[in-house]
Structure 1
């Protein structure tokens, strides 16, 4: 008898009540995500699997005292790096919020550190409580119009399909390459399909006809919807729609207008990019559930989208339900409406209680030097920051839309002196720069941004999707220059500058994206950054650093800035600052 046969025989013996279960949960209310009902019965667990619902005896028996048993939550699309901590610390944050499985795309670290970055994320997520499934970064760099730290070809990605936690190809954001049948992109997609793997989409701003092309490529998901009609277009063409509620992109409430009891089975929840403080203050997928209930949906339907729908989308046949044959990943809830989490179980073992992890974390994995020494910035002089302005011509300005990662392309008259742009806090027109930081090329893109509302100083970050060059916005060149020097010295991170002084900072030495400190320490530093932001005039209701990071992503409409200059996403080409 082989190991699998022996294991199955043992489970069958427990399921058929010939031997007692390892653990039996009694007096609980089971959330039946198949029928959207609540049933009352014992739940028998053996060797990390649920083996029965009914009346059972166990070696250990737990009185749930009327609590609801909910399947462990699944985040269908997340970038762990956006929480600015490594996988083991990310697990410590989201597991107490009921998330037991995530589908992660490490394209942030891959854009900086290539395959070394992917290898590190796989190793660092190997023995943690959270199940981390990986979608291979499909677009490194995101476009040929910017300069990342690495470039990944289909040949680079192919060997990873042997890894048991690689679930498929991550978000395909280079739609023009798919539309034109570009050879390298076609090969990446076909390699995933050859291995019977999932292909994830990124259809930002793509009309219904474009979704035809995505569907034909067997791309089956999209997390970039921002309107109800986009949801309907994708659902009608066979895609699963990932309803996103992140830190910068808070789309969920608006998108729920397109969700009905008839189409909800093709919808699931994702966070995509969410800062650590947002995760700790408001939650992860549990926050999506609460927002959906507040919108008027049944808690059971919301839970189904957060569990079974996500599992079925990715073919996770043993996740997403409290039922025989499924992993014993579940949550004990005291209330459905508020979704208050009492305990979290992973493989039948309690790992979190009352919002805190009780399972010890494994020893952190040390990243290679290619990850810890990723900031290579060519020295910058103040003259390098000048933005030429010709006469009274209008300038092309990036206007921020609060809590959205899309921007508006506006044309405005701006202030200038001696032929160069002068930031004007009264007009809320600030200087925006993106400086290449991977190969010390000295490339700097210049632009003008509106909507930050800073009255003094500058802010800077080495988190700048997706190539992760240095992005900074400021009210004057002296503080912008100081900001660049600050993150260069830290070897990556975030900082708030005023009159040349660092008011607050968060070092991110792992590829300029993640901290090497505990999530609690990072949380404290983020709070200090928030206080410093208030001091320099930021008073908006959105996350300015996360918003800043997306101003450099040239696949999200309408106007963005790369190290190569101002980029019009609709025309997919560079434009000058002035008309």
Structure 2
């Protein structure tokens, strides 16, 4: 609601007790994130904002019955596309988990559809209960070492800074461009600085000296820490450290070892990339809070990290606390230590109760034809999938379970006439990344170890960040079948065995999302998980999530793009055959 003299007068009259509040919440234990104490006062709400704390009368009364009341949780960095649902359906999923605000980076869909993708995310997040703010994709494509569906210049991004829900420049992942004073990168940074906007970082693998460069460039956050040492390097340099617990990158337990009473105010919780089934089964930021408390963190400190810290990091001056002048985003908790959510109030209105939305939001925005027709590949045959490894000593991508970081292995692999032969018994599989935006025919091929598939193949159009088709298989036949079926669906996920499709999830919106209800998608994901077990997966980690990050050439150590095997250490492509 736009602030006018009339609304301001009303709120002041409610605060002064001259006028009854629209809503008063009584008998609640308010978590005060400023002083980190529990206070017991009425909460008076007018026009969706807190007008006062104390003793108030209202037109409507809610008896909290002794429940704890926390500010609405804020996810400080999330890619909505990773949940494979539209913003409206994402709202239906995360609001019952107490998440009332998210800072989203639409670089997934932007890498596929450019400004059309950004426009779709902005339009489809209007007038939904969840407050969705955006950081503009800074690196589309992520690197020059792959083919993406779009390229965004500073001029194309600059026009979005006037949008009220655009907060700044999204994760700057091209560290070499910053370090080497790349003109295009400097212009994007300059635009954000000139307009007083935030700049997010992506400092995967950067040491303390390299963090100096990011901080000097005005980059103030990082969500890529994977150990306490990295977190402390960033905290000591003045960065905000985003404590991430997603689906593929589960870093929170390690990072909590670096958080203490002295530095906690520079930390915030994020999910980054989280699948729909994990959001439904585990939760969102509420899961991070729950984990932190379980590991010994003071519950009120955990709530402060999930609310006020995130709001202050992004300059959201009326969010993150329960106080006069703040938006009335409230979570009712029957159990503080277990973060048991009873009710969620969004802008003074009951939005969810006992894990269920009171009024689910329908998908109202229809994607453009271009977004719905984003998968275009050249014809493929078995010869296109051959990997020459000569003597058999190969550079191999070693998977680390529940991590998006990989190992660069140099090992002997099976070969026939100099060409790699998959060996499921040793967990050596063939990996392919197929360009799917412009029919270039570009195909990258590599060897992976640790995916855990013993038969069949899987493929997906979710492949960070350029989102080409990524596929892995125990045979060329199943690898090719999985790639072709994913293309025929116009995007999505597929599991194949002996040429037969065992399960699928169509994702027609840019090959990343669907407009189906979450219950329908959850059913598809359950079928996919069953099919994954059928092809030998232990399900100790999610193979599709792991697969989706194997094409991201800004995360150590060894990845695969449509242009070939990529060493993050040398920031260059290398051959599958290793030098002796």
Tell me which interval the TM-score lies in, with the shorter structure as reference length.
over 0.9
Give the Cα–Cα distance (whole angstroms) in 2 for the partners of residues 542 and 305 of structure 1.
27
Give the Cα–Cα distance (whole angstroms) in 1 for the partners of residues 194 and 359 of structure 2.
38
1:532 paired to 2:531: yes
Q: Which residue does 2:115 correspond to in 1?
A: 115
Q: Which residue does 2:137 correspond to in 1?
A: 137
Give the Cα–Cα distance (whole angstroms) in 2 for the partners of residues 98 and 526 of structure 1.
24
Q: Which residue does 1:499 correspond to in 2?
A: 498
Q: Which sits farther off after the overlay, 414-423 or 565-574?
A: 414-423
1:570 paired to 2:556: no
Q: Which residue does 1:398 correspond to in 2?
A: 397
CA contact 1:328–1:345 (8 Å) conserved in 2: yes
Given the two structures, how large is their TM-score scaled by the length of structure 2?
0.99
Q: Which residue does 2:70 correspond to in 1?
A: 70
CA contact 2:92–2:360 (8 Å) conserved in 1: no
Give the Cα–Cα distance (whole angstroms) in 2 for the partners of residues 484 and 364 of structure 1.
31
User: What does 1:22-41 align with in structure 2 at a 5 Å threshold?
Assistant: 22-41=22-41
Q: Which residue does 1:20 correspond to in 2?
A: 20
What SS does the aligned partner of 2:242 have? strand
Render the CA deviation track for 1:551-570: whole Å, top value 9, x for unaligned: 00000000000000000001
- 1:391 deviates by 2.1
Give the Cα–Cα distance (whole angstroms) in 1 for the partners of residues 293 and 360 of structure 2.
33
Give the Cα–Cα distance (whole angstroms) in 2 for the partners of residues 137 and 391 of structure 1.
43
Q: Which residue does 1:310 correspond to in 2?
A: 310
Give the Cα–Cα distance (whole angstroms) in 2 for the partners of residues 130 and 189 of structure 1.
29
User: What does 1:383-394 align with in structure 2 at a 5 Å threshold?
Assistant: 383-392=383-392, 394=393
Structure 1, unaligned runs of 5 or more? none
CA contact 2:89–2:362 (8 Å) conserved in 1: no
Render the CA deviation track for 1:210-240: whole Å, top value 9, x for unaligned: 1101111111100000010111110111100
Number of aligned pairs?
577
Given the two structures, how large is their TM-score scaled by the length of structure 1?
0.99
CA contact 1:143–1:554 (8 Å) conserved in 2: yes
Give the Cα–Cα distance (whole angstroms) in 1 for the partners of residues 363 and 234 of structure 2.
43
Moved over 6 A (4+): none
Give the Cα–Cα distance (whole angstroms) in 1 for the partners of residues 379 and 129 of structure 2.
43
Structure 2, unaligned runs of 5 or more? none
Give the Cα–Cα distance (whole angstroms) in 1 for the partners of residues 270 and 189 of structure 2.
22
User: What does 1:459-478 align with in structure 2 at a 5 Å threshold?
Assistant: 459-478=458-477
- 1:418 deviates by 2.3
Give the Cα–Cα distance (whole angstroms) in 2 for the partners of residues 544 and 150 of structure 1.
27
Give the Cα–Cα distance (whole angstroms) in 1 for the partners of residues 214 and 568 of structure 2.
19
Give the Cα–Cα distance (whole angstroms) in 1 for the partners of residues 3 and 144 of structure 2.
49
Q: Which residue does 2:517 correspond to in 1?
A: 518
- 1:541 deviates by 1.2
Render the CA deviation track for 1:172-201: whole Å, top value 9, x for unaligned: 000000011100001001101111110000
Q: Which residue does 2:483 correspond to in 1?
A: 484
CA contact 1:26–1:62 (8 Å) conserved in 2: yes
Render the CA deviation track for 1:306-360: whole Å, top value 9, x for unaligned: 0000000001000000111100001111010110000001110001011011123
CA contact 1:128–1:362 (8 Å) conserved in 2: no
What SS does the aligned partner of 2:426 have? coil
User: What does 1:166-565 align with in structure 2 at a 5 Å threshold?
Assistant: 166-392=166-392, 394-565=393-564
What SS does the aligned partner of 1:530 have? helix
CA contact 2:86–2:363 (8 Å) conserved in 1: no
- 1:382 deviates by 1.1
Q: Which residue does 2:54 correspond to in 1?
A: 54
Give the Cα–Cα distance (whole angstroms) in 2 for the partners of residues 242 and 493 of structure 1.
29
CA contact 2:533–2:539 (8 Å) conserved in 1: no
- 1:3 deviates by 6.2
Give the Cα–Cα distance (whole angstroms) in 2 for the partners of residues 3 and 423 of structure 1.
64
- 1:6 deviates by 1.9
What SS does the aligned partner of 1:426 have? helix
Render the CA deviation track for 1:378-404: whole Å, top value 9, x for unaligned: 111111011112024x10000000011
Give the Cα–Cα distance (whole angstroms) in 2 for the partners of residues 365 and 480 of structure 1.
35
1:5 paired to 2:43: no
- 1:540 deviates by 3.8
What SS does the aligned partner of 2:526 have? helix
What SS does the aligned partner of 2:438 have? coil
Render the CA deviation track for 1:107-156: whole Å, top value 9, x for unaligned: 00000000000000000001111000000000000000100000000011
- 1:12 deviates by 0.3
Give the Cα–Cα distance (whole angstroms) in 1 for the partners of residues 80 and 230 of structure 2.
26
Q: Which residue does 1:152 correspond to in 2?
A: 152
- 1:5 deviates by 1.9
What SS does the aligned partner of 2:480 have? helix
CA contact 2:89–2:363 (8 Å) conserved in 1: no
CA contact 1:78–1:271 (8 Å) conserved in 2: yes
CA contact 2:248–2:273 (8 Å) conserved in 1: yes
Give the Cα–Cα distance (whole angstroms) in 2 for the partners of residues 433 and 360 of structure 1.
39
Give the Cα–Cα distance (whole angstroms) in 2 for the partners of residues 478 and 335 of structure 1.
53
Render the CA deviation track for 1:61-117: whole Å, top value 9, x for unaligned: 111000111000000000000000110000110000000000000000000000000
What SS does the aligned partner of 1:135 have? strand
Give the Cα–Cα distance (whole angstroms) in 1 for the partners of residues 458 and 142 of structure 2.
24
CA contact 2:129–2:346 (8 Å) conserved in 1: yes
- 1:4 deviates by 1.7
